[in-house]
Chains A and B, each alone.
Chain A
Amino acid sequence: GAVVSQHPSRVICKSGTSVKIECRSLDFQATTMFWYRQFPKQSLMLMATSNEGSKATYEQGVEKDKFLINHASLTLSTLTVTSAHPEDSSFYICSAVSITSGPQETQYFGPGTRLLVL
């Protein structure tokens, strides 16, 4: 149980294009999903919190117009990197908290999406 998927697993795009990454909770409902970014050999940095039915909240320094988040249902959140540039190349990971859990309970992580912007 508690499986989270991400699609695509890796994507290569040209500079200036937009890329959409999907995060799905497969066997549970999640009111809250989190989006992280991870550079090589570094830890995870929280980018934003995605709440079903409301606007996402972004961490300081993360541009909301650059990283568009949509939490369309209790099982799906999407992250769109708009007008991607090479510096956006990174590993993007989502996580989800079960609707039946408290907010400080276990987060279930997706397998990550590796984005390379040429």
Chain B
Amino acid sequence: SQQGEEDPQALSIQEGENATMNCSYKTSINNLQWYRQNSGRGLVHLILIRSNEREKHSGRLRVTLDTSKKSSSLLITASRAADTASYFCATPRAGNTGKLIFGQGTTLQVKP
């Protein structure tokens, strides 16, 4: 079954605004990853946050992880039109196999 559930499914904002996407998962994890996918392209790794971390920053990206609530959020600050893409969270499947389970994704549109 799909582990990661994301909301909202779609988000439309104006350039300069912040965008927040949320991801929930069901089982215990040791890390959670966020990826971006531009339309018709492959995935680009954005950030990996480990279970012992609560917050991580990378440029305009801020990721939080709450293991007690089994949820994570991705915040993009001062959004740009180029941030328009789909964003997926991914968690490792149990068993140390390296397999990832992807959420359904949030489609972000940033209007210029």
Contact = CB atoms under 8 A, between A and B. Distances in A.
Interface of A: 4, 6, 32, 34, 41-44, 46, 49, 91, 93, 95, 97, 103-112, 114
Contacts of B42: 4, 6, 93, 109-112
A106 B92 CA distance: 10
Interface in B68-105: 88, 92, 96-105
Given A93-B43, A112-B41, A112-B42, A104 B88 contact: no
A104 B102 contact: no
A6 B104 CA distance: 24
A43 B2 contact: yes
A33 to B, nearest CB: 10
A6 B42 CA distance: 10
A104 B35 contact: no
Contacts of B96: 103-104
B105 A43 contact: yes
Contacts of B103: 43
Given A42-B104, A43-B2, A49-B99, A104 B92 contact: yes
B33 interface: yes
Contact of A46 (B30, B31, B41, B100): B100
Contacts of A46: 99-101
B31 to A, nearest CB: 6
Contacts of B61: none
A17 B31 CA distance: 41
B48 interface: yes
23 contacts: A41-B107, A44-B88, A44-B102, A49-B98, A93-B42, A95-B43, A97-B98, A103-B96, A103-B97, A104-B30, A104-B92, A104-B96, A104-B98, A106-B33, A107-B98, A107-B100, A109-B43, A109-B44, A109-B45, A110-B42, A111-B41, A112-B40, A112-B42
